[in-house]
Amino acid sequence: MSVGGAEAGSAAETGGAAETGGAAETGGAAVAGGGIESVEEFRLRARGWLRENMPRSAPGATGRLVVRPDEEELAEVAQDRRLQRLLFDAGFAGLCFPKEYGGQGLTREHAEAFNEELAGYRYPSRLQVPTMTPCAAVILEFGTHEQKAAHLPAILRGEELWMQFLSEPGSGSDVAGAKTSAVREGDEWVLNGSKIWTTGAWWSDWGLCLARTNWDVPKHRGLTVFMLPIHQPGIEVSRIEMLDGNKEFCQEFLTDVRVPDSARIGEVDDGWTVATRWLFHERSFSSSPFALRPAGDVETYGDPGGGLLQLAERAGRLADPSARELVGEAHLLRTAMHALDQRLHAVISEGKATEQLAAVGRLMHGVTMGRLATIGFELAGPAAVAAEEGEDSLGGLGTSYLLRQIASIGGGTTEVARNVISERVLGMPREQALDRNVPYRQVRTGPSSGGAANARS
């Protein structure tokens, strides 16, 4: 049974998702010298530019969460901003965003070619998720012309880093159960409540915030989405220290935060329509045409082929049949996951399937990432538990193994994804929900941190 199946609201409950089609995701083809630049021409141009301008990524990187001083992390954030600006100035930022808003107006195929060429290079990873997707993708799809003109070019230049104010202390996977309130006062809205598990909020600039604007309708019907600067009076950002000492997650407390109505995304009380697509972009970030993702890049150790073979060699197990079998399994999983991502995005963007099908990809990633972390740990053997000094790439695999369940929780739990697949994709009977078609004011819920629970009066 799901922790909260509200993410999977039906068309009847949500008012339907926005019709976007493929054009919104591709932005059209690029025009160069009066003609369309082919994918191969673009690939060669990108390959040459990357070779001359972008730094190489550090060898042996594990992709795990590394605990380091704040000064070092802030320096890395600043470096990501500089790399993003470098891409922008060279015409390689926002490949599938429209030219009108600072993008390149290229196709998904161009973006895939660039990601293939980007493998092995350092790139502005912190600006891809959630800044480019889902946040910028949501603004592109639902924002006004003025909103898009004000923020999308700044995002593509690396001047604005965005976070999603979505999860709450009392409603993590039950997105529609948000209690952060927004009360209208003239041309402004006053927000009170709390958001949580916001990765990197302390060094980011803007937030995309889901808030409750109507307590007298069922929970899916009374939501609205707003844009707001993170660092302003009334917003307290509190960092959460994890068991390994990492403090990348944050909780935000909003107290009488004033937001102009011009910062509202979509219609009042129709935020679930926006949220449905928001969740789609979040679930399918790994295959999104809006975000950079070098070919072979994953949330666990290195490359499934050469990287894991090198790991097996360093562990003295290259000739071990069981080790080679693990490397083959990792490669097979990665290949299948990539093919599934491409297929799902194609059928959804072409309107052949509902965006709820993205839950299939979300489930695949959650299960696969956990398994890949386990494979890396098994290949490393004792070195993953007690690595010698300087063997960070091996020792880090032990930490990655201990944290492997993150892949099944972050970005929406795999438990919720299974519910979405069963109910929305396969058409199986829905699980019982006592809050369906009930005004949210009358729904009995637990207390919520940050005073949001008192906002209904």
387 pLDDT above the threshold of 80:
no
Let me know: does 112 contact 106? Beta carbons within 8 Å.
Answer: no
d(CA 246, CA 402): 14
- Tens of pLDDT along 80-113? 999 999 999 999 999 999 999 999 999 999 999 9
d(CA 285, CA 288): 5
Name the H helices within 157-220.
none
Arithmetic mean of pLDDT, 221-245:
94
What confidence category does residue 395 fall into, taking pLDDT thresholds of 50, 70 and 90?
Answer: low
- Tens of pLDDT along 239-249? 999 877 889 89
Residues of the chain with pLDDT > 90: what percent?
A: 52
pLDDT confidence of residue 392:
56
- Lowest-confidence region among 64-73, 342-351, 428-437: 64-73
pLDDT confidence of residue 97:
97
Residues of the chain with pLDDT > 70: what percent?
A: 83
What confidence category does residue 455 fall into, taking pLDDT thresholds of 50, 70 and 90?
Answer: very low
A 10 A CB-CB count for 256 gives: 10
Query: What sign for the dihedral angle of Cα 134, 176, 263, 147?
Result: positive
pLDDT confidence of residue 212:
97
pLDDT confidence of residue 34:
53
What confidence category does residue 402 fall into, taking pLDDT thresholds of 50, 70 and 90?
Answer: confident
What confidence category does residue 398 fall into, taking pLDDT thresholds of 50, 70 and 90?
Answer: confident
* pLDDT mean across residues, the chain: 83
- Tens of pLDDT along 101-157? 999 999 999 999 999 999 889 999 999 999 999 999 999 999 999 999 999 999 999
- So where are the chain's domains? 298-425
Q: pTM of the prediction?
A: 0.80
300 pLDDT above the threshold of 70:
no
d(CA 209, CA 231): 14
> Which two tokens mark 422?
């069963």
> Which two tokens mark 429?
């009977």
pLDDT confidence of residue 263:
98
**Cis status, amide bond into 130, omega within 30 of 0:** yes
338 pLDDT above the threshold of 90:
no
Let me know: does 137 contact 281? Beta carbons within 8 Å.
Answer: yes
What confidence category does residue 65 fall into, taking pLDDT thresholds of 50, 70 and 90?
Answer: low
pLDDT confidence of residue 450:
46
pLDDT confidence of residue 435:
79
Pairing relationship of beta strands 223-229 and 264-265 according to DSSP bridges: antiparallel
What confidence category does residue 350 fall into, taking pLDDT thresholds of 50, 70 and 90?
Answer: confident
* Element spanning 75, H or E: helix 70-90
Contacts with 24 (C-beta within 8 Å, 6 or more apart), sequence order: 140, 141
377 closest CA partner among 293, 300, 280: 300
- Lowest-confidence region among 24-28, 126-130, 374-378, 411-415: 24-28
Arithmetic mean of pLDDT, 300-304:
39
What confidence category does residue 169 fall into, taking pLDDT thresholds of 50, 70 and 90?
Answer: very high
Length reported for the chain: 457
Can you name the CATH fold of 298-425? Butyryl-CoA Dehydrogenase, subunit A; domain 3 (1.20.140)
- Tens of pLDDT along 248-282? 899 999 999 999 999 999 999 999 999 989 988 88
